[in-house]
Amino acid sequence: MINIEKLSKNYSGTNVLDIENIQIPSGQSFGLVGNNGAGKTTMFNLILDLIPPTAGYIKINDIQVNKSEKWKPFTTAYIDETFIISYLFPEEFFEFLANLRGVDKQELHDFLDYFKDFFNDEILGKEKYIRDLSKGNQKKVGIVGALIGNPKLIVLDEPFANLDPSTQIRLKTLLNQLRKDKEVTLLISSHDLGHITEVTDRIVVLDKGLIVKDIETNTNTLNELEIFFQEQIQEHA
């Protein structure tokens, strides 16, 4: 699905990302972790062609992302608030995305009905602009918007941040349901090691733009990651 070769991003003479090679197969739930400044968001921005690479390339289904837009129809993302249209009502935003992705009104209605518990009666029918919703509810709108139209590649940057505990649990259930669909590839970053180990098949750890771990998730992964970051603390003590 995704092939990254000799990818680097340089700002003012400083490399913030330097990846020799990584492949993410179709159907994998891929997790990305690391401390602030590790390069997680930079990597996602490069995958989505939001910023140009300094060197190297990214291909999605053999399509180089900065050379063609043919990967965009089956790719969606929620990175931050810039991915939502804040002056719209949530319903208007969802209708806009549905029209864009060829989803009719009945399909959209059925789709949104599925997320009633996730919305917790705080989003639809409230006559509130998205900008007037809480940060957590804005994130819910962005995540659900990214799922409209049955995308094959979904990129979510820090999806658990700003969500209350109940919504985090609902989101984990939702992501694990998507994870079972082997036609959907998930890319998820998170600072929450517990959550990301529960919703991914594989986790890559970035440190100062470099891949320092690449592991399949299992019952010991959380402990392994905690030990790794504890050792990092001791090294810098």
Angstrom distance (rounded) from CA 15 to CA 8: 7
Domain membership flag for residue 9? no
- 120 belongs to a structural domain: yes
**Residue 110 included in any domain:** yes
Question: Does residue 236 have a pLDDT over 80?
Answer: no
Report the Cα 161 to chain-centroid distance in Å: 12
* Within-domain flag for 118: yes
The pLDDT-based confidence of 34 (bands split at 50, 70, 90) is very high
> For the chain, where are the alpha helices, taking DSSP H only?
40-47, 90-100, 105-113, 116-119, 135-147, 165-180, 193-199, 221-235
At 103 the pLDDT is 95
- Classify residue 57: in a domain, yes or no: no
Q: How many CB atoms lie within 10 A of CB 67?
A: 10
Residue 130 lies in a domain: yes
- Structural domains in the chain (count): 1
pLDDT of residue 13: 85
Question: Does position 235 have pLDDT exceeding 80, yes or no?
Answer: no
Give the integer Cα–Cα distance in Å for 187 and 122: 27
| Confidence (pLDDT) at 182 | 79
DSSP state of 177: H
Tell me the mean pLDDT in the region 20-48. 95
CATH of residue 113: 3.40.50.300
Question: Could you tell me the pTM of the whole model?
Answer: 0.94
Categorize the per-residue pLDDT at 237 as very low, low, confident or very high, splitting at 50, 70 and 90.
low
In this structure, the number of other CB atoms found within 10 A of the CB of residue 75 comes to 21
Residue 107, domain extent: 26-37+65-235
- Residues paired with 19 in a beta bridge: 7
> For residue 164, is it left (φ>0), alpha (ψ between -120 and 50) or beta?
beta
Is 165 domain-assigned?
yes
Percent of the chain with pLDDT over 70: 99
Q: Is residue 145, in this structure, part of any structural domain at all?
A: yes
**Percent of the chain whose pLDDT exceeds 90:** 88
Confidence of residue 201 (pLDDT cuts 50, 70, 90): very high
